Chains A and B, each alone.
Chain A
């Protein structure tokens, strides 16, 4: 499958009269966008805000971050099975409003963290301090149950990103990147001497605030399966996660999957990117056994020489990670795993909930327990109420000058386990 990504560089977002993309500026008429997201009767109202890099702005609690994209040519549409029809995506031409992001904000549960600071120390830890963010803060219907609230917010963000992306459908992209994924036989013919490399992506699937959907299917109820790597660029995988701010994969992370991108970058040169497996992280032990067995089985069936395994979340998913790694290594297939750590504030505790010597090649996104002080910022989008109470895990974390002491686990994407960031730990 061949997919062309056309990046339209966005350098500004302006709320105004006519919705359009022109000379790098995304103009949004709030009334029009409001009409799109208020189709859902569970949402009473929405407030729009724009947060730009360098501004003294804090966004919290963040539910999801989504990149506006649209299918410019070819089959299917963004977020298949959820927003667009279930038609297979991953081919044709996709336009991306590069540099812009939709950020949804909403307190679904009372202990929700998820901070994006647009300036100061906190900004160094989140990739979304570098994007121009259209923030949508929703007011839900009174008495809306947490499950329905989560779903409404999830869908509203996707609808908005899809609608905004549509504004770039007929705009000429500034840059085009072609991702060409070969079938098994084509790949072997084309690159007979290159190692066949696969990617195993683990997806959170543990219940409310921990779920991931693929073509609209709740991953918790799926067997481990395969996906064409180009499909993720069209929103085939979306996030239903709201907690584990630092190491949940937002929809934006899936749309820009860094492992997929970097494997494509070496495809045909150092390696043959031969396939992608997606598997879940369930709570039931039988599921963990079954899913990791299937991961290893698919790796064997595909004849991969090496795989990269990425994780999502922490705690019992460490067990899934180690099971996947052990079972794949047992086949004689080389693995590299990507994880993050909870080594305590002083960095001296055992970092992972599960370990095994077969995991001898590890990339880490860093220690999520590292404590930093976020300065008082002029503007807060959303509410800081819960950050004050709980983010970082200790009381009285708000200082007299309004600065907040938090562990970086409260910051969106800080220790991403798909290797999105440059941070590491030793």
Chain B
């Protein structure tokens, strides 16, 4: 019989709602909450030997610690499959399911499966990294989700060939798998074109990656009069990372005053970014956020002025949607402050 380890949050673990979101990871034997439905669906093929329950806020705010603890628990159990959720449309729960599944898969080499609603931010972040079963947006969808997830879980646990997303019910975007359609391609093309021309719904067989390209604005007319701001996804923060910007999958950005700062030194600034070797950025943060050079240019009259605030976050693993939301917010502030142009630095 296959051994399955199930991850759920504090709510589904029966501990409580938002007020218990800080719940530390704990492991119990057997199935808990939605696990009993899974156990019924698995029948004699598999058993949920253990359930890990973790508060969503705890996971989100103590990412590295939470991951470490949970990975240790999983390592001890050695399951044939790690199952998480389903998270439906609960954002932090979805991100936690995706994050922990990714870690279990990458670091322990154990097959993983989770399920959530297509608009859950966890789906956007992890759809290209694992099988995520597409569910409804609330727990009402549990009855649909369990049999789909259970079937796919057994296949994954046994190392069987996985069919195409459309056959198995996982979200497209992770793995392209061949299958045979009822109609040949040319006929499907004619059907699709007729639907498209009639403005009727149709499903493309290959969703194009949308890079969200931005049209460039006309150049700054006179750079020597322009007020320039610095913005970075390289995670540069005042020493000690006062706002606790996450090393990855950032949930926030920071706004810091650099009035009177001519140089970012080892004593005053560092990077919060967890996706690159921080040594050089920690020794001299100007390497990522070039305050020193811009001050020189400001003094030499090459630029009008350097804006006295900079905005920063960590780009690695941060959902495009979150980044866009950060930028909409601080772009308005930049505009209000009369900034003419922004230099964006990445890593």
Contacts and interface: CB of A to CB of B under 8 A. Distances in A.
In the complex, A touching B, CB below 8 Å? yes
A367 B208 contact: no
A323 to B, nearest CB: 14
A155 to B, nearest CB: 29
Interface residues of B, number: 36
A133 B204 CA distance: 36
A264 to B, nearest CB: 10
Contacts of A258: 184-187
Interface in A352-377: 352, 355-357, 359-367, 370
A262 interface: yes
Interface in B186-202: 186-190, 192-194, 196-197, 202
Contacts of A305: 197
Contact of B189 (A338, A355, A356): A338
Interface in A340-358: 341, 343, 346-348, 350-352, 355-357
Contact of A271 (B177, B185, B194, B206): B194
Interface string A329-346: 000001110110101001
A123 B46 CA distance: 37
A396 interface: no
Contacts of A370: 177-178
Contacts of B187: 258, 262, 419
Contacts of B184: 258, 262, 419-422
Interface residues of A, number: 53
Contacts of A339: 206
B176 interface: yes
Nearest to B210: A357
Contact of B193 (A336, A341, A365, A421): A336
A419 B185 contact: yes
A423 B181 contact: yes
Nearest to A365: B185
Nearest to B128: A348
Contacts of A308: 186, 189-190, 193
B182 interface: yes
B185 A425 contact: no
B180 A422 contact: yes
Contact of A426 (B128, B176, B189, B197): B176
A415 B202 CA distance: 22
Interface in A277-315: 305-308, 310
A195 B197 contact: yes
Dominant SS at the A interface? mixed
A305 to B, nearest CB: 6
B166 interface: yes
B176 A306 contact: no
Contacts of B179: 423-426
A418 interface: yes
A341 B179 CA distance: 13
Closest 4 CB pairs of A and B: A419-B185, A419-B186, A258-B186, A343-B176
13 contacts: A270-B194, A305-B197, A336-B192, A347-B177, A348-B176, A350-B209, A351-B206, A359-B208, A361-B192, A362-B205, A363-B188, A364-B185, A425-B205
Given A341-B206, A346-B175, A418-B185, 18 more contacts: A195-B194, A195-B197, A336-B189, A347-B175, A355-B209, A361-B202, A361-B204, A363-B189, A364-B205, A366-B178, A370-B178, A423-B178, A424-B164, A424-B205, A426-B164, A426-B165, A426-B167, A426-B205
Interface of A: 195, 197, 258-259, 261-263, 265-266, 270-271, 305-308, 310, 334-336, 338-339, 341, 343, 346-348, 350-352, 355-357, 359-367, 370, 408, 416, 418-426
Interface of B: 128, 164-167, 172, 174-190, 192-194, 196-197, 202, 204-206, 208-211
